[in-house]
Structure 1
Amino acid sequence: MTGLQPVHGGNLLQAVARFGGTPEQWLDLSAALNPQPYPAPATDLALWYTLPQPDAALHASACAYYGAANMLPVAGSQAAIQALPRLRAPGSVAVAHPSYAEHGWRWARAGHQVSHHPHAGLAAQAGQVDVLILCNPDNPSGQRWPQQAVLAMAAAQAARGGWLVVDEAFADVTPALSVTAHAATQPGLVVLRSPGKFFGLAGLRLGFVAAAGDILQALDDELGPWTIPAPVARIATAALADRTWQAAAQQQLAAGHARLTALLQAHGLPADGCMLFAGGAYAHADALQQHLAQHHIWCRLFTDPQPRFRLGLPASEAHWQRLAAALAGFVPDTL
């Protein structure tokens, strides 16, 4: 039993169909991306006309940026999330709940027995299941696992021949939590990274996997050739190597998150998360989403195991003012 396919943020067209307007009239805060994305450079048109080849510059930039000995580029970390369950015989899998729902859903769909656990109880599953999965920082809760705690879970999983899959899609803003640098030498540790969030380049559909060589080879074989278009590789190589832009982005996101946290708290709303989003468990989350949608502002709604909302960062002062005005008019008891 795999349940319903997970719903995701960034589904603005559904909001438009439900609440009216045009996409240009909406402020989409549902996807938790850097609202000031990396300025993608122009690429040579000739790159579109030939099959892409393995790109040594992309590999070197990724390894240097993420601190990894070896990485496999994939067509978005979602490609790895879907392929990894096919690399193991059906077994026991433990995931946190709430968390990024694709993990549990994809492993269950591949025939594994998936159990869901509160974040506080997830570490107790280490060494007890074939595959343990966590997001660090977690999406949408913002739960953070210290690096040493994650490495302890990895060691426990390795002792039984299992895997620890760590989704670090949001870890760029909390690099001290990352275990990417340990993936090549820690058996069974699989780390997923994504430039889509921090760099705001979700449209590239690019991700990276760090793990021991045998796992990376099996995943590469499963995914097949030509997974990364050459123009995507060129843009990502530039972004991953641009330390000046990265430092400025860290400061910009920290300031934006502080402002969003203060705005939510001023209206009595929860503000859990990381530097790319804020929100939390809230009994009136559905009413809040509908109220914001009436102002053509789209936020992410979660309903399992309890109502929860998530807001990304506005991109401009005008957007900030628009969000503030909409929140000021929210009175849940009247909805």
Structure 2
Amino acid sequence: MDDRATSMRADAPEAILHGGDLAAISGRYPDAPQPWLDLSTGINPIPYPVPTIPPASWTRLPGKSEDDALRAAAAARYGVAEPDMIVAAPGTQALLQILPRLRPRATVAVLAPTYEEHALCWRRCGHRVDLVDDVDALAGADVAVIVNPNNPTGRLLTRDALVRLAATLRRRDGLLIVDEAFVDLSPTDASLASDLPPATIVLRSFGKVYGLAGVRLGFAISSVDIVRQLHDALGPWAVSGPALAIGTTALADTTWLEQTRARLAKDCARIDDLLSTLGCTVIGGTPLFRLIKSPSASDIAERLARHGIHVRRFPAQPDWLRFGLPGDEAAWQRLAQALGSAS
């Protein structure tokens, strides 16, 4: 048998609940007002305006020049020294599922609680996965996985802490994976991408801050040899022509990003004020979502659902709820009225 981890662990869960599952939630509440207001995801509710897409992007396979242009735009946006240190993928989820297949069987430590697909993907490929709540506990693993800023808590580890961990892992021929899906709106020095430590892979998501999750676009940033392995594993034409065109334009638009940063800061302050009416505690979040803790979390979610408003629940943390941001004034007013009822 090949020593690479390709088999399914018997104890691996079959599926994970995610936000955005409107079909499932609407089926449970058939009498709720329509349309549903989906606040269950951490996706920018006001997306980047989709640019005009060249007709050829729809009718022919994407060429190397389009991929090069996207990676150059991503390198400039993320401060990466060389575009050859970047590989584009059809969403970071595709990269999560490939990475475990590129390593022999290993001990993987995931800083938890966090996005559960990381642990699931490594378990499905036969690796031993330990969920740990202390950064120091990551140092003894073969592979350490951190979501930074974290989803759903918003925990943000310092660059110095990550660099020290990367150095420790490198001495043991280990690997550090940092998922920076929500880092775009954090201070610039929060990201490792601009000065990447050895033996480190940084994952960046396009769809969240740009509000275009359906485009399916993400990136891995690492050494050239690791990027080449990921490129080979993805195969040719991994990213569609339209996604290449949209990503290249959006990543170069610094004005839109700065305006979005300012708007989201105001929106976060506004939703914090609304959530305070519930008597709950905002315990974390990012500029794209807020996490609350309340002993009445289940009741709050139920009452919001009856108003046609979907928020993210956490079966393992039943006193947590995650709120995304409304996208227009009508949605804000609808949430305010429903929260008044819930309180």
TM-score by shorter chain over 0.5: yes
**Deviation per CA, 1:186-228, whole angstroms, max 9, x where unpaired?**
2210000011111111011000100111111111111111111
Give the number of equivalent residue pairs: 326
Structure 1 CA distance for aligned equivalents of residues 158 and 141 of structure 2:
21
Q: Does 1:113 align with 2:134?
A: no
**Deviation per CA, 1:36-94, whole angstroms, max 9, x where unpaired?**
11001121222111111232211110000011132100010000011000000111011
Question: What's 1:177 paired with?
Answer: 190
**Deviation per CA, 1:9-59, whole angstroms, max 9, x where unpaired?**
111111111112699611101111111110011212221111112322111
Q: Does 1:90 align with 2:105?
A: yes
Give the one of 238, 247, 261 matched to 2:249. Answer: 238
TM-score, L = length of structure 2: 0.92
Question: What's 1:269 paired with?
Answer: 280
Asked if the contact 2:111/2:138 (under 8 Å) is kept, the reply is no
Structure 2 CA distance for aligned equivalents of residues 60 and 137 of structure 1:
24
Shift of 1:176: 2.7
Give the 3 Å change call, closer, same or farther, for CA 23–96 of structure 1 in structure 2: farther
Shift of 1:306: 4.5
Give the 3 Å change call, closer, same or farther, for CA 94–268 of structure 1 in structure 2: same
Give the 3 Å change call, closer, same or farther, for CA 109–281 of structure 1 in structure 2: farther
Identity within the alignment, %: 41
Q: Secondary structure at the match of 2:108?
A: strand
Aligned pairs for 1:76-87 within 5 A: 76-87=91-102
Task: Output the aligned Cα RMSD.
Answer: 1.5
Give the one of 50, 60, 74 matched to 1:50. Answer: 60
Question: What's 1:255 paired with?
Answer: 266
Shift of 1:328: 1.1
Question: What's 2:148 paired with?
Answer: 136
Question: What's 2:17 paired with?
Answer: 7
Question: What's 1:226 paired with?
Answer: 237
Asked if the contact 1:257/1:275 (under 8 Å) is kept, the reply is yes
Aligned pairs for 1:133-172 within 5 A: 133-172=145-184
Structure 1, unaligned stretches of length 5 or more? none
Letter in 2 for 1:66: Y
Asked if the contact 1:126/1:156 (under 8 Å) is kept, the reply is no
Structure 2 CA distance for aligned equivalents of residues 163 and 231 of structure 1:
33
Q: Which moved more, 1:17-26 or 1:164-173?
A: 17-26
Shift of 1:284: 2.5
Asked if the contact 2:33/2:307 (under 8 Å) is kept, the reply is no
Aligned pairs for 1:193-232 within 5 A: 193-232=204-243
Shift of 1:283: 2.7
Asked if the contact 2:277/2:339 (under 8 Å) is kept, the reply is no
Shift of 1:238: 0.7
Letter in 1 for 2:73: S
Give the one of 298, 318, 323 matched to 2:335. Answer: 323
Q: Secondary structure at the match of 1:196?
A: coil
Q: Secondary structure at the match of 2:50?
A: coil
Structure 2 CA distance for aligned equivalents of residues 72 and 97 of structure 1:
27
Letter in 2 for 1:20: P
Name segments (4+ residues, structure 1) moved above 6 Å.
none
Structure 2 CA distance for aligned equivalents of residues 145 and 23 of structure 1:
41
Shift of 1:252: 0.6
Asked if the contact 1:29/1:298 (under 8 Å) is kept, the reply is yes
Structure 2 CA distance for aligned equivalents of residues 176 and 200 of structure 1:
23
**Deviation per CA, 1:133-157, whole angstroms, max 9, x where unpaired?**
0111100011111111111111111
Shift of 1:178: 0.7
Q: Secondary structure at the match of 1:235?
A: helix
Q: Secondary structure at the match of 1:107?
A: helix
Q: Does 1:125 align with 2:137?
A: yes
Structure 2 CA distance for aligned equivalents of residues 283 and 236 of structure 1:
42
Structure 2 CA distance for aligned equivalents of residues 281 and 110 of structure 1:
34
Q: Does 1:189 align with 2:204?
A: no
**Deviation per CA, 1:254-294, whole angstroms, max 9, x where unpaired?**
11111111211232122220110002333332222111110
Q: Which moved more, 1:150-159 or 1:281-290?
A: 281-290
